[in-house]
Amino acid sequence: MHILNILLSIIEFFVAVSLIVIVTIQESKNDGLQGQIGTTASSSFKGKAGREEKLNLMTRNISITFLVLCVLLSYLAHA
């Protein structure tokens, strides 16, 4: 159980670093109030996702992975 905790901690560290890197790579969206209303243009061309859409998808997947790892480590710490 102790080895699993160490292994998950190492994986969580690398997931956290990759999440930080991906979030800093993304461009900031300074749309002001217009961006809050929901009138954003899609950057896909002929059904292919653009760079920003791919980064958004990667950010979402890595953040979900980070959340699951945090919950698992919390459960293992109290078990």
The phi and psi torsions of 39 (rounded to 5 degrees) equal: -100, 60
Judged by DSSP in three states, 46 sits in coil
CA 42 to chain centroid: 20
Per the CB < 8 A criterion, the answer to whether 4 and 75 are in contact is no
Q: Which 8-state DSSP code applies to residue 29?
A: -
Summarize pLDDT for 55-79 with one digit per residue, the tens.
Answer: 999 999 999 999 999 999 999 988 7
pLDDT at 40: 56
pLDDT band at 46 (very low <50, low <70, confident <90, very high): low
Q: What is the pTM of this model?
A: 0.74
Consecutive H or E run containing 6: helix 2-25
